[in-house]
Structure 1
Amino acid sequence: EHALELVSNLDVRNQIIATVPPEELVANPACLAVVVSEIKIVSGLMGSRIKKKMQLDAGHIAQNIQLQAATMGLGTSTILFFDVNLVRRLCKLQVVVEPVYIVAVGYPDVEPQQKNEQVKEIAKTKTAVLITASKDYRDEELILTKNMLEQAGVRTFIASSRVGVITGMLGGKAEASVFINALNVGDYDAVVFIGGTGAKEYFNSSIAFQIARQAKDMNKVLGAICMAPTILANAGVINGLKVTGFPTEQVQIQKGGAVYTGNPLELDGKVITAIGPAASQIFAKAILDAIVEQK
């Protein structure tokens, strides 16, 4: 007899979706069905054909789930690209059990175009500032965040300790138009600290600390990615919050009184943090959503 067994009361859907590439086009699923295979058993039976067998069987199971969902008026989306080890850990699976396929189930978004227009109407009234080091910021974190905000209509500015052309770790160039010492937090709806090794420039910066504290006190959207959450920790604005960041920053984040999770993305109130370059896309989306939702 087939039956479901409760192994955890935790809702890990958003943590799994956070690692899924944007091209998978999945958001806010009501349910995630994870198809798994026990490697030792299958390999004993199939030998070198294990991978093909696992994928075919997983596809058949997923198809059945999709057919049943369709009869119930639900929409589905299959997810092939995800962090296997993270899904195994979040779902409390044994090491010998490998997640092969994920099916997202929920009500289909029938008005995406209308929602996009609504977002743009709100976004064009909003302003954000991205604070980067004068050199060695992480290129993807800056460019992906800037592009997503600007494409939605948010007026976006780059602030740094030097106005003019600044260079990222990967050699990219950007134009900083705001001198950090003259930054007025009240002019912006969101203040975002970009990571990279250059972020160390602000680890002991009284100016950066003041900006972070003002943003928190004024209830602004406050973001930090990669190494930058250490700036928030040293500024004393994340005490008691769930925070993520680059693994090298775990101790310092914890010293700041935060609960370090190591997840790709964390949202705690209006404080948004992300683990590093690989999470740039979901970090940018989270910042945009928070800006749009802000009263």
Structure 2
Amino acid sequence: MLRHLVIAELQSLRRLSLSVLSAATLIVGLSLVPIAWGVPILKVLGSVAVVLISLGIAVGCTFYLVYRYWQTMHKAPAYFTHTLPVRGGTIFAVKMLVAIAYQLAAIAVSAVFLWALHLAQGVAAGRGLGEVMRADWQALTDVLQLASWPVTVLLALSLLLSVVSMIVQVLATLSLFTRPRFASLGVAAPVVGVVLLYLANQIIGAAATLWIPLGMRVSGPDAGTVVAQGMWSDIVAALRYGTEPQVVGLGSVVAGLLLTILLWQLGRRTIDRHLAL
């Protein structure tokens, strides 16, 4: 049943996704031509168009996924959604997984568009396409060689977790603030929930960065190594003696993961036990 729900959810998003992707790819492709040829004025307009479309794909996908979740889980279309012969928590999980997959895909498409812009600008500067790509690959390998594998993996997982956390936390918060206890807030309830979520993330993230014993050294012979230390001691030393912090705290990654897991569980429980349409 879970597989069928995932397939149905993907199919419901397929038509709009393909339409947007096709239109965006066409516009970006046409914009890259004057950029690569160095046509005055048009190359500037083309660059602006590619950047705006790239950002619009990623940001627009986020807003659409949030809007669609709200509509299909808590507004009029939700009456059909919750007639499916499965637990509400299962539907919640499917919505989350598909939203995460689409958001990651949107970010990947945006990255490809921006890289295509970079390649076109390199061609306009008189370099061959292969030369630009080889230079990019060399720059990437140089960066990976400078950082240790644990650090590289940790940073990659942190970026992935930030995307997953954003989707899960926002969608779960929308469901949490549909409980009857928040009915007095009316349509402002989800907005209040998202604002409170933002504030909670900032406070928890700052505290975790300072006090959770996980960080990365940024100076000295062991720069780039992960250490069991937060930033609190370095911040105190910087305030007292004017020294530069030697460690960047990574505790916010752990705190973000824990908050995401908590909100996932609360959101699933809300759908199962306190569903409000």
TM-score by length of 2: 0.22
Which protein shows a greater Rg? 2
TM-score norm. by structure 1 comes to 0.21
Q: Would you tell me which structure has more strand in proportion to its own residues?
A: 1
Greater helix content = 2
